[in-house]
Amino acid sequence: MKTRSSQSPDTARQRRSTKTTKSPASPTPAGSPKSLQSPVRSRSRGSIKPAATTQSGVGSTSTQLVTQKLHKILAQAGLGSRREMEELIASGQVTINGKTAQVGDRIDARDVVRVGKRVIHFRSARRLPRVMLYHKPEGEIVSHDDPQGRTSVFDKLPQLRSSKWIAIGRLDYNTSGLLIFTTDGELANRLMHPRFEVEREYAVRIIGRLTPEQATLLTSGIELEDGAAKFDYLSDEGGEGSNHWYRVILKEGRNREVRRMFEAMGMTVSRLMRVRFGPINLPSRLKRGKSMELNEAEIGRLLELVGYKA
């Protein structure tokens, strides 16, 4: 897929069709066993494969003004979840046309909404959130600020004018693979919050090999310092010498959870790569340190799969 060039989010786009596949092949880490080159069958259905090309066009316009709930617009602007935005409105920090907003207020394109001094732009019902895929290499942090001055993944993304990129989940400094960014706080919440049980899939290389008993423990549940944890799927993918590869799937994203689970078995993780998040696979053509943006058809499919109406 050719990455869409940076452009204003206000540019009208023409809807396009796209093909979907059951599960596109995930990229193979260098030095990994041949069996990792095949896609893993998972419980997630309707995986999204970014199209080979994207184009922008001018769509039809309408003079009819559409109203939307204020807290939904604030969430779409990337300020937080809808519930958090209701709390923000209740605190009196939001105004509509200079007047303090109330929970339940609706707005249209003529209204001027401010959170403090920041103006929040209305997005019509036709406009979809933006979604960016990024292949994170080791040695980058998922944070805007770092006291140590390390490279941030946000430095690699296109700059936005009226909104901001929200990271859907994190990867630690030494973990590589798929990161998803969006401009919609509610979509980010739908994919990240534990109650939605969105699958995360990883390729893991460890020093040594799990015994059948250890593999059973990891899929039935073990206790970590912050609570119980388990893999919903664990597959032995083979290896050479002292290195052995596994595929694992879990439905939450606690800090360093995959590494800590293997460490609880006395194993050291020497390589960790996220290859899928929910219905989105890391495209094999997306090189490390590069990003690509989903087109409207792909975003629409994603919203349908997660049950979210933008």
208 contacts 267 by C-beta, under 8 angstroms: yes
Determine the Cα–Cα distance for residues 260 and 269; give it in Å rounded to an integer.
Answer: 9
Phi, psi of 153 (to 5 degrees): -65, -25
How confident is the model over 260-277, as a mean pLDDT? 97
Is pLDDT above 90 for 226?
yes
The per-residue pLDDT for 106 is 92
Amino acid 13: pLDDT: 44
According to CATH, the superfamily of the domain at 68-120 is RNA-binding S4 domain (3.10.290.10)
Class of domain 22-55+127-310: alpha beta
pLDDT over 80 (residue 211) = yes
Catalytic residues, which ones? 172
Residue 64 confidence (pLDDT): 56
Query: What pLDDT, on a 0 to 100 scale, did the predictor assign at position 195?
Result: 87
Mean pLDDT of the chain: 81
How open is the CA angle 198-45-131, to the nearest 5 degrees? 60
The share of the chain scoring above pLDDT 90, in percent, equals 55
292, amino acid identity: M
Tokens read off for 286: 């997306």
Q: Which of 62, 81, 58 is CA-nearest to residue 125? A: 62
Range(s) of the chain covered by CATH 3.10.290.10: 68-120
Q: How confident is the model at residue 86 (pLDDT cuts 50, 70, 90)?
A: very high
Q: Give me 56's structure tokens.
A: 């922008």
DSSP 154: G
Looking at residue 83, what is its pLDDT? 81
Tell me how crowded residue 154 is: count the other CB atoms within 10 A of its CB: 18
What pTM, to 2 d.p., does this model score?
Answer: 0.68
Q: Which residue spans of the chain are classified as CATH 3.30.2350.10?
A: 22-55+127-310
For the stretch 169-210, pLDDT in tens is 899 999 999 999 998 888 998 899 888 999 999 999 999 999
The residue whose two tokens read 């309408």 is 62
Look at residues 296, 232, 239, 288 and name the one whose alpha carbon lies nearest to residue 267: 239
Q: Is the pLDDT of residue 224 over 60?
A: yes
What mean pLDDT comes out for the span 57-85?
Answer: 70
Higher pLDDT, 141 or 81: 141
Contact 265, 17 (CB under 8 A): no
The number of helix segments (H) and strand segments (E) in the chain equals 6, 17
Please report the pLDDT score of residue 65 as a whole number: 67
Strands 176-182 and 106-107: unpaired
CA pair distance 268, 271, nearest whole angstrom: 9
Per-residue pLDDT at 185: 85
Question: What's the pLDDT tens digit per position in 7-39?
Answer: 444 444 444 433 333 333 444 444 444 333 332
In which band, very low, low, confident or very high, does the pLDDT at 57 lie, cut at 50, 70 and 90?
A: very low
